[in-house]
Chain A
Amino acid sequence: MGFFKNLCNKAFPKSLWVYHTNTGACNGCDIEVIDVLTPYYDVERFGIKLVGSPRHADVLLVCGPVTRQIVPALKRLYEAVPAPKLVIAIGSCASGGGIWFDSYNIVGGADTILPVDYYIPGCPPRPEAILHGVAVALGLAEKKVAREHIKQLIDRNESISVEDDTGAEEVVPGDEVPAELPTSK
């Protein structure tokens, strides 16, 4: 993560261009994203700009649960964004499928298809939350909550990575449930 952060700081020193994509969302998150761009929240003061083509983008903002039909288009869209690139999942649905997580036409959250770098949960997340999330991604603000173990994942015997205070990564095998869950920083 440290390396990635350095790379980001080098690659995106001042201005992030974002491309917004809806993968099956109800529009709630999408219009909060537009809200962030309009005068009250004015994200352009951080140099962040909404662009009309993925080819121009540094960041992909993903809203909504990923539907079965959109998967091929979403994959092509991700490939069209030039590297290095960030993916930010906005809203509960993009973060993990939301209330649709087990519906027949839903594949899951954005991370079932794309590598997601940042999650901004909420239904829909407030414009302030989106601003904060993007500011964390840019290194302008400190992260407020540490990543936590999710019990269901551990039960499913899957390895998950945990980040400690030093930024080093530690892999916890799924069957060893830690005695204490990491708390907020």
Chain B
Amino acid sequence: MTAQSFGDSLKNKFGDKLLEVEAAGVDQLYVRIVPECLVEVADYLYNDEGCRFVINSGTDRREHNGKFLITHFFAQDEENLYIAVHAEVDGNDPRIDSITPVVPAANWSEREARDMVGVAPEGHPDPRRLVLADDWPEDLYPLRTDVEHGIKPESCPDVAMPLVEPPEGASVVPIGPYFPVLEEPAYFRIFVEGETVVGADYRGFYNHRGVEKLGCSVLTYNQIPFMAERICGICGFVHSCSYCQAVERAAGIEVPERAEYVRTIMLEVERVQSHLLWLGIAGHIIGFDTVLMQTWRMREPLMWLCERITGNRKTYGMNLIGGVRRDITADVHGDITDVLAKIEKEWRALYDAIPGDPTLMARLKGTGELPEEKARELAVAGPTARGSGVAIDVRVDHPYAAYDRLDVKKCVYDSCDNVARVLVRLDETLDAIDIIRQALDDMPDGPIMAEIGEEIPAGLEAMSAVEAPRGEVFHWVLTGEENRPERWRVRAPTYANLQAVPTMVTGDALADVPIDVGSFDPCFSCTERMEVTDLKSGIIRVYTQDEVLALRQSK
């Protein structure tokens, strides 16, 4: 089904409630609806059409039409289709119906829209803030255009995270915000009965840096790729690539074929690097430091190779709107094949050793279980989804760069536990090496940068997704004045995967919690949220700022 025919079917179904339906190419559909029927449309897309919820976004458009634009993004992976559902709400009374009751995966992003632009999701089960610091003022919304990017409200040292009462009979084990096995700050309170985890309480967003605000108010189109790479220091290339693709698509810029191949090669090099890194960290988490030392030793020649190709070990600085800045010249081809051959040989040895290691298997098998239906409900991405039998991979489902011309396999396992997630990554690494070889062979000659004549006009939009080592990275760009986007929305895969933590840890032993969290390769710097879940009763407990203060005072 193409975007056009899907749009027509929506029109037949909803009639006048759809104000505008616009297909962009065959794989992107933009729909503008009456805000009152948002829940109905979301319910239809999610429950009847089987679409996957991606993210939502809030945009302050009061300068243009006095309204806030709320956009929900859905993906139909089987049909290679992304759908953006726009709804405009009144600038003086910013409220919208919450879709979380029908689409559980929308939980965090609706709260984020409330924090950042101040559009309240009505009927949302969770009235707490999500992204901003505890002591951030109540009525200051950083993504509104009348708020300066450098605003620094007075800090208020006495406001802190509320302490949640554990279920009766359970004890609390606090982990974090600084915890040795996790590279980044995150605060978990694990509720245990004996050794068994019965609940978890999580507080994140320690790494919130205001990336989207800087992109929409300070930087220009061609400066953003360099900041986008610094969203994540491990898999930054996916962010700059996805952002550039979105702008190119919005502005109708044709990227030279050779540049697409260069992007593909660098994306796969990054995947190999990231999976090697992850396997080492996973070994470290379960106390098997030999794995850490071995995989990082294997990884180092790849870092030198990246430096040879791009000039930097990571944060490659290769992408610009319209192409890439450096070519992969013939004289590094030999280096690439040598390094790949070495890594492949050593990786195969590892591949045989890991499933045969009883200690490793004892720690990984049956822990961190995430059943398939839960994985679909929470819309998890990447190896976390594929380890739970959900066969989604952006490279195959929504091909970008040069992937439509290459042979890419989906690596899927269905045992739904930590072993599955390890095996997915083991397979994927070999697959990535294969893709790099194919791309090197097929790479055509030609320019690596498109000529861009005039300025990019305002008011155009496009979506773009890239399969990062951790899952689907999604960017949406709405072009604006002054040579910068009016709105740039980023969704990193950990945003979805982190919401699965409470499900994964329940029923495990306390000692398995770090590897459960580590098993989806969390990247908090991209994500950063807050959630309190009582797993025993299944009720998500929610605190407002006032309740937090009341709780503190009662202590």
Interface residues of A (CB under 8 A from B): 20-32, 34-35, 38-40, 51-54, 64-65, 67-73, 77, 98-100, 102-106, 123-124, 126
Contact = CB atoms under 8 A, between A and B. Distances in A.
B230 A28 contact: yes
A78 B178 CA distance: 12
A45 to B, nearest CB: 14
A28 B214 contact: no
Contact of A103 (B150, B226, B313): B150
Nearest to A23: B185
A73 B293 contact: no
B210 A73 contact: no
B233 A104 contact: no
* Most B C-beta atoms less than 10 A away, residue of A54, A67, A98, A100: A67
Interface stretch (B152-160, B249-257, B415-423, B440-448): B152-160
Nearest to A34: B296
Given A25-B233, A28-B236, A40-B297, 7 more contacts: A22-B183, A24-B206, A24-B208, A28-B230, A30-B183, A34-B183, A103-B149
A73 B149 contact: no
Interface in B276-304: 277, 280-281, 292-293, 296-297, 300, 303
B79 interface: no
B207 A104 contact: no
A18 to B, nearest CB: 12
A98 B132 CA distance: 20
A126 B152 CA distance: 32
| A-B residue pairs, 4 tightest by C-beta | A28-B233, A52-B180, A38-B296, A103-B210
Contacts of B297: 38-40
Contacts of A34: 183, 280-281, 296
8 contacts: A24-B185, A24-B207, A24-B525, A25-B525, A28-B230, A67-B133, A68-B136, A124-B233
Contact of A73 (B135, B185, B207, B314): B185
Contact of B313 (A67, A102, A126): A126
Q: Which secondary structure dominates where chain B touches chain A? A: loop
A70 B528 CA distance: 12
Contacts of B231: 26
A9 to B, nearest CB: 28
B132 A27 contact: no
Interface residues of B, number: 51
B183 A31 contact: yes
Given A71-B155, A72-B157, A99-B227, A28 B208 contact: no
Contacts of B177: 70, 73
B206 A69 contact: yes
B209 A124 contact: no
B184 interface: yes
Interface of B: 132-136, 142, 147-152, 155, 157, 160, 177-178, 180, 183-185, 205-210, 213-214, 226-227, 230-234, 236, 277, 280-281, 292-293, 296-297, 300, 303, 313-315, 523, 525
B240 to A, nearest CB: 12
Nearest to B131: A105
B135 A68 contact: yes
Nearest to A77: B178
B296 A69 contact: no
A100 B210 contact: yes
Contact of A124 (B132, B147, B315): B315
A24 B207 CA distance: 4
A16 B162 CA distance: 37
Contact of A25 (B133, B207, B281): B207
B210 A29 contact: no
Nearest to B205: A69
Given A38-B296, A69-B206, A105-B208, A26 B232 contact: yes
A30 B135 contact: no
A104 B281 CA distance: 32
Contact of A30 (B150, B184, B214): B184
B133 A27 contact: no
Given A34-B296, A54-B178, A103 B209 contact: yes
Contacts of A27: 183-184, 232-234, 523, 525
B292 A70 contact: no
A67 B157 contact: no
Contacts of B160: 72
A169 B144 CA distance: 47
A95 to B, nearest CB: 15
A114 to B, nearest CB: 14
Contact of B178 (A21, A104, A124): A21
* Most B C-beta atoms less than 10 A away, residue of A27, A54, A72: A27
A104 B213 contact: yes
A181 B207 CA distance: 37
Contacts of B133: 67-69, 105
B227 A31 contact: no
B293 A38 contact: yes
B314 A67 contact: no
Nearest to B313: A126
Contacts of B183: 20, 22, 27, 30-31, 34
